[in-house]
Amino acid sequence: MLETIVRAFEPADMPALRVVLAEPAIAEQYDMYAGADGAERLLADPYTPAAGVRLAFVGGEPAGFACAIVLPGPRPWAMLRGGVRPPFQRRGIGRALHESAAAFVREQTAVPGVAELALAAWQPIESATAMVERMGYRHDRWFWLMRRERGAGAPAPAWPDGIRVRTFDGSEEMLLEWRGAYHDSFAENYRFVAGTVEQDRRRMKQPGFRPDGVLLAHRDDRCVGFCACVLHPTRGEIGTLGTTRAARGIGLGRALLRWGVAWLERESTLPVTLLVDGANEGALGLYRSEGFEVARTRRIWARPA
């Protein structure tokens, strides 16, 4: 019987982590980690501590991974991600990786008081559903990946009266404006992630971050909306789009969305996508009216930490 080891990631494990993330079954679930720099993307995430990354080995061969995305907010929570390469499945490795990552969340002190653990998976994946329910997780939410046909004739943004827009220049001033508008826009949303300016600075250093893919909208010298686009290895995404409460109902969200679609189509040949909370009827209505259709379904499970 070959020895199975689950342990914390070390810098010398980069080749092993790349092997695991390149596994087609794992890349299908975690496309943000796909490509030659997938391991770097994972480790550069400001909410994913390197100390919480776990690797499994069977007879010295990389078998699987897990990581903990620890998210601050009014009720801190953590999203656990992971996968096991098909030749090593059904040996209890997935559960062992999960328990090791969950233990890290309970022991870490950077974000105290983590209340819940969450898991997510693109559907259908019946094996994952059975496993997570055995570990005490229960259904929490549906998210939809929506996709828009490229070149479908997106209208140019029609900016509301009094709105002026500026591309993000990386300055501290604009970073603080963006952070303030983000808090105002999403503070009441499902699983709001508070974050900090320091974490924003780290995100700007991630592979693939493009300052010109971020647009801020101002009214009366105050940032009231933003759109941030992301280029993943396999798709382009409207990563975050928000309007402050005082600037809703004037067409600003639609204008920002159209700007984001145009940027993604101009800067890449990738599919144009966005991820939306399945319970956010207002956002769903906007996206559908702009030509987006549901392409994939992501299920979220949760349990007390």
Q: Compute the mean pLDDT over every residue in the chain, rounded to the nearest whole number.
A: 95
How high is the pLDDT of residue 131?
Answer: 86
Residues 171 and 238 placed together within one structural domain of the fold:
yes
How high is the pLDDT of residue 153?
Answer: 74
Number of domains in the chain: 2
Residues 260 and 155 placed together within one structural domain of the fold:
yes
Residues 262 and 158 placed together within one structural domain of the fold:
yes
pLDDT digits (tens, 9 = 90+) for 225-257: 999 999 999 999 999 999 999 999 999 999 999
Residues 6+ apart with CB under 8 A from 35: 41, 233, 234
Amino acid of residue 39: A
Asked if 240 and 283 touch (Cβ cutoff 8 Å), the reply is no
Angle at 204 between CA 202 and CA 208, to 5 degrees: 120
Q: Is the pLDDT of residue 127 over 90?
A: no
| Prediction pTM value | 0.93
280 assigned to some structural domain: no
How high is the pLDDT of residue 272?
Answer: 97
pLDDT digits (tens, 9 = 90+) for 4-32: 999 999 999 999 999 999 999 999 999 99
What residue numbers bound the domain in which 230 lies? 151-270
Residues 6+ apart with CB under 8 A from 267: 210, 213, 229, 231, 236
End-to-end CA distance of the chain: 34
Residues 159 and 219 placed together within one structural domain of the fold:
yes
**Which residue is associated with the tokens 């392409």?**
295
Residues 159 and 217 placed together within one structural domain of the fold:
yes
Q: Is the pLDDT of residue 154 over 80?
A: no
CATH number of domain containing 87: 3.40.630.30
